[in-house]
Amino acid sequence: EAQVTQNPRYLITVTGKKLTVTCSQNMNHEYMSWYRQDPGLGLRQIYYSMNVEVTDKGDVPEGYKVSRKEKRNFPLILESPSPNQTSLYFCASSLNGYGYTFGSGTRLTVV
């Protein structure tokens, strides 16, 4: 089944403890993106990647890192999480940038 898989689905962590949210797609898509969703703000792009080793900042990149060493994987790294990064996170992928498939989301709580 074609899909975007994010893990974990739920995560509670403490301020400052490094964490990684994984994202993997099995559709051989070129484009991958990370979004965060906050109430009343919609979804905002954190980082995106147009191919292996090619990444760029979205609208809200502060406090996040990404890497794209393989086409299928695009992990999101929070080096030192803070409470304002408590949010719902989505990974998405696209073959050509024109239509995205989203993962099921990761609910992150930083206390």
Partner 1 sequence: AQTVTQSQPEMSVQEAETVTLSCTYDTSESDYYLFWYKQPPSRQMILVIRQEAYKQQNATENRFSVNFQKAAKSFSLKISDSQLGDAAMYFCAYLRGSQGNLIFGKGTKLSVKP
Q: How far is the CB of 6 from partner 1 (least distance, A)?
A: 11
Pairing of strands 65-66, 54-57: unpaired
Single out the residue of 7, 52, 58, 65 in contact with partner 1 (rule: CB under 8 A).
Answer: 58
Distance CA 95, CA 16 (A): 35
* E strand intervals along the chain: 4-7, 10-13, 19-25, 31-38, 42-51, 54-57, 65-66, 76-78, 87-94, 101-102, 106-110
Asked if residue 67 binds partner 1 (CB under 8 A), the reply is no
Residues 85-104 interacting with partner 1 (rule: CB under 8 A): 88, 90, 92, 94, 96-100, 102, 104
Asked if residue 40 binds partner 1 (CB under 8 A), the reply is yes
Q: How far is the CB of 104 from partner 1 (least distance, A)?
A: 6
Give the Cβ contact number of residue 108 at 10 Å: 21
Binding residues for partner 1, rule: CB under 8 A, are 31, 33, 35, 40-45, 48, 50, 58, 88, 90, 92, 94, 96-100, 102, 104-105
